Amino acid sequence: MTHGPPDDDALIAGFLAGEAQAHAVLDDWITRVVHHRAWRLRADTEDLVQDVKYRLVRTLGENGFQGRSSLKTFAQSVAKNACLDALRRARIRTTEELSEEPPAPSNVDPGEAMDSRAGVRLAFEVLQRLPAPCRDLLRRILELEQDYESIAAELGVARGTVKSRAARCRDQAVRLRTRLEGGRARHGRE
């Protein structure tokens, strides 16, 4: 397995074996590129680093590194291309406008209908305040009922990346809802 200089071979073997020191070196190379190139995707940089590591594991595991450059140059190139892919996806992604007023449920007690409409309005407000990537991901999961695998395939990222993004988006939605509910209670609105 002679791809490049002995240090590169050792790093590749260590990275694929899960050695912390090799991961730290590659993480440093990857993170610098991701933070420099994808600063507009601030919320997604952690996911992007994970995506680059996934691509590297796949490529290095399949002997895709030919040693024509240093491992550092190769890893940075993979990171740069992942950033460009993410920026293209972000540009292409469209968001649906949320309707202002949700429809009232039929055959429901008027008091229950008011509570239900207030809850739905709160949900719409939370969704409107979430960043577009979170709205899109949550729509895919909750409305379109897509599984993580299909979302990952469409976005060109690892399944674990989709799961971590979904968890962060849900946490952000819960924090927003709590903050909005607290504001309404302080101002006498329910």
Mean pLDDT confidence for 133-138: 87
Tokens representing 185?
Answer: 């209670």
Inter-residue contact 15 to 56 (CB < 8 Å): yes
| DSSP codes joined into one string, 144-155 | S---HHHHHHHH
List the domains of the chain with CATH numbers. 6-92 (1.10.1740.10), 110-186 (1.10.10.10)
pTM: 0.46
Residue 18 vs residue 142, higher pLDDT: 18
| DSSP codes joined into one string, 59-97 | HHHTT---SSS-HHHHHHHHHHHHHHHHHHHHHH---PP
Q: Is the pLDDT of residue 7 over 60?
A: yes
The set of residues, in sequence order, having a beta carbon less than 8 Å from that of 81 and lying 6+ positions away, is none
pLDDT of residue 29: 92
DSSP 8-class letter at 142? I
Grade residue 2 by pLDDT with cuts at 50, 70 and 90.
Answer: very low
